Structure 1
Amino acid sequence: MQTEGWFIIHESAFLIYVHTILGERGMCMSARDDFPIFQVVGYKNSGKTTVTSALVAYLTKAGYKVATLKHHGHGGKPDRASGTDSDKHRQAGAVISGVEGDGELQLTVASKTELTWEQIKTMYQTVSHDILILEGYKNASFPKIVLLREEADFGLLNDIDQIHAVGLRDHHLMPDHHAFTFLLEDLDKVLPDLVAHLLDRFKL
């Protein structure tokens, strides 16, 4: 079974997109209770989605099943397709609405309170995967790749924990940090070493 998926979440509402090639009985056969988690963090327009997408593609090609969770941290609710039948259900008051077809499931869940990490993790455990990559969630405590746009971003290195790699926009930026360091323009070249460095943390 091959699985890929991502969630987008912000405060009281989030959008779930999961594409799954289902088993014979149409269900996930081997969801895990626990799984390696690491993060890609940085300020807006630092390259988080570019790096996350590159990691997903590389790990998937290497045979891993990867899930991602993106924090919608710039205000407002995540984008969703308006005018669809499932959106009309949500607008009418449904706390969860969805549409499924040809192995693809799209859900919109609206909650009056912010969902906890344990609630989100439980949802992820229903879909079989090997690794979860968080895009954002600076304050979460998992191994991180930190992306720096300019020297003004260096303070981020002092504000968060578990920094395992640092990505830089400019080779003139040289933060005083012991982590694996790379230039974003060299991302394709360094991916094998970067991934090996991260996976070594989990002994995978």
Structure 2
Amino acid sequence: MPRSDVTRRQLLEIAAVTGGALVGGQLMPGASSPAAAQGYRSAPAPLDVVLRVNGAEHRLALDARTTLLDALREHLHLTGSKKGCGLGQCGACTVLMDGKRVKSCLNLAALVEGREITTIEGLAQGDQLHPLQAAFIERDAFQCGYCTSGQIMAGVACINEGHANSPEEIREWMSGNLCRCGAYDHIVAAIRDAAAVTGSTRGG
């Protein structure tokens, strides 16, 4: 099914119906699936999706249910964005979309065509680290490292939004990103350092 023939509503209906069929089949193996009842007797044809990631365009054939996170990790092999809760609660999958932070596990890849996606792999300029990446190293702002890419992407947005004017403000605006290791003090310090370098504080 070509991408141009699918509306947003149709895409969501396909995702809902086929997803429901999988769940229904697991819970009631003998029952006829909702998908079959609506004529979806097999998996829908993949959609042609063009994603613009880190300045480059990628043409992919994706299942309608593919999240942006899975497209990045499984199809583009950009594994810096991590799978955590899958519910948008931990922030490990945070990326930038048109400069704004988003949880990539909550966005369908087919619905973000035309948007500029930036992942942790796209922050550095060659060998030159982004100021926040350098600050994370200097401040030892990570331990196991699993949440680090999401923390950095959210931190970049926090700075760009002008919400890095105090430790309290940073903590509030970074509250959607969890660190199981509890490195919050170091993360806050790294964001403060990077904000000072970039001058991205209110009135700075």
Q: State TM-score, norm by structure 2.
A: 0.26
Structure in which a larger fraction of residues adopt strand: 1
Q: State TM-score, norm by structure 1.
A: 0.26
Greater RCO structure (CA 8 Å; 6+ sep)? 1
Structure in which a larger fraction of residues adopt helix: 2
